[in-house]
């Protein structure tokens, strides 16, 4: 297999090959066999892309390449061959740079964690780590009907790549189960409104929605992991994963099952606007 077959310019292959030789401590032909096993051209091209990004970062940060532990380098090489997304490739390149800079970054769990997260999950995690997102708001409408309550928090979710709130909270939950994120909800706040019920139109004051503010924090492991794969100064609080567990359980029990009839959409929306800022 040659770089002509791969369709990759020779200087680009040579740059990645030179870096790999210095990291592995021995000559290694990147265009044919990176680690003695046959590699597909698709995987090889992605490894080359990641190594070139790492090489550029090392030069920019003035870090000299050095031999790193094969037990870390070889699994990283194997996993990197399957990373097609450009943004995720940058994170893999940053992890490699961090491993060159310090032995403390040569943690095999970092490879497994990075292998398991998607682009939007990585973007969400980075946004939280940089202080761009500190809280999420969940609104539960306690009314039967064919319309849904609009959450002001949902406005910016599409910019992060989430098509709907369900996808966002699914990603947040998965990052939580991966041991990266801590979810600390406040007690659910009841949103009440005067409603008319029955033929005589008696007015009653009832709960029409529940609002919950969820604070996002990183676990110590999540903080260290993000530091290595972003190489940025993080602006986020850190908490142990069990610190939010009781709050999550309490919030789940507090939701209740109230059903409210005959309340207008505009009325509920105004109540939400009045209350969302003080959750």
* 3-state SS record for the chain: CCHHHHCCCHHHHHHHHHHHHHHHCCCCCCCCCCCCCCCCHHHHHHHHHHHHHHHHHHHHCCCCCCCCCHHHHHHHHHHHCCCCCHHHHHHHHHHHHHHHHCHHHCCHHHHHHHHHCCHHHHHHHHHHHCCCCCEEEEEEECCCCCCCCCCHHHHHCHHHCCCCHHHHHHHHHHHHHCCCEEEEECCCEEEEEEEEECCCCEEEEEEEEEEEEEEEEECHHHHHHHHHHHCCCCCCCECCHHHHHHHHHHHHHHCCCCCCCCCCHHHHHHHHHHHHHHC
pLDDT at 260: 46
pLDDT of residue 9: 59
pLDDT under 70: residue ranges of the chain: 1-13, 17, 20-21, 24-40, 141, 143-155, 193-205, 243-279
Q: At CA 272, angle to CA 266 and CA 275, rounded to 5?
A: 145
Give pLDDT, residue 247: 58
Q: Which of 114, 120, 112 lies closest to 93 in space, CA to CA?
A: 114
Task: Say if pTM beats, i.e. exceeds, 0.85.
Answer: no
Note the pLDDT of residue 275.
55
**DSSP label at residue 238:** B
d(CA 249, CA 247): 5
- Cβ burial of 20 (10 Å; 0-12, 13-18, 19+) is buried
Q: How many residues does the chain have?
A: 279
Longest dimension (CA), the chain: 88
Rounded Cα distance, 223 and 269, in Å: 37
What integer pLDDT is reported at residue 27 of this predicted model? 57
Q: Which residues contact 167 (CB under 8 A, 6 or more apart)?
A: 120
CA distance 34 to 207: 63
d(CA 180, CA 225): 8
């Amino acid at each position: 297999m040659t770089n002509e077959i791969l369709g990759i310019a020779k200087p680009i292959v040579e740059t990645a090959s030179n870096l790999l030789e210095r990291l592995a401590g021995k000559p290694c032909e990147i265009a044919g066999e990176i680690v003695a096993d046959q590699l597909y051209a698709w995987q090889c091209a992605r490894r080359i892309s990641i190594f070139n990004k790492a090489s550029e970062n090392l030069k920019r940060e003035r870090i000299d390449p050095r031999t790193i532990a094969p037990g870390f380098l070889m699994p990283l090489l194997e996993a990197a061959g399957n990373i097609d997304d450009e943004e995720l490739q940058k994170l893999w390149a940053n992890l490699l740079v961090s491993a060159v800079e310090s032995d403390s970054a040569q943690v095999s769990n970092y490879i497994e964690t990075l292998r398991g997260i998607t682009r939007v999950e990585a973007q969400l995690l980075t946004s939280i780590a940089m202080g761009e997102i500190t809280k999420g708001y969940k609104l539960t409408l306690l009314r039967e009907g064919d319309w849904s309550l609009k959450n002001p928090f949902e406005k910016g979710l599409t910019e992060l790549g989430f098509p709907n709130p369900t996808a966002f909270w699914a990603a947040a939950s998965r990052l939580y189960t991966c041991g990266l994120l801590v979810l600390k909800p406040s007690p659910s706040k009841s949103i009440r409104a005067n409603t008319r019920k029955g033929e005589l139109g008696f007015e009653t004051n009832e709960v029409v929605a529940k609002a919950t503010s969820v604070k996002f924090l990183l676990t110590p492991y999540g903080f260290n992991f993000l530091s290595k794969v972003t190489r940025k100064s993080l602006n986020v609080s850190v908490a142990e994963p069990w610190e939010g567990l009781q709050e999550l359980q309490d919030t789940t029990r507090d939701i209740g099952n109230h059903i409210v009839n005959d309340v207008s959409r505009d009325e509920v929306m105004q109540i939400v606007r009045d209350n969302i800022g003080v959750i």
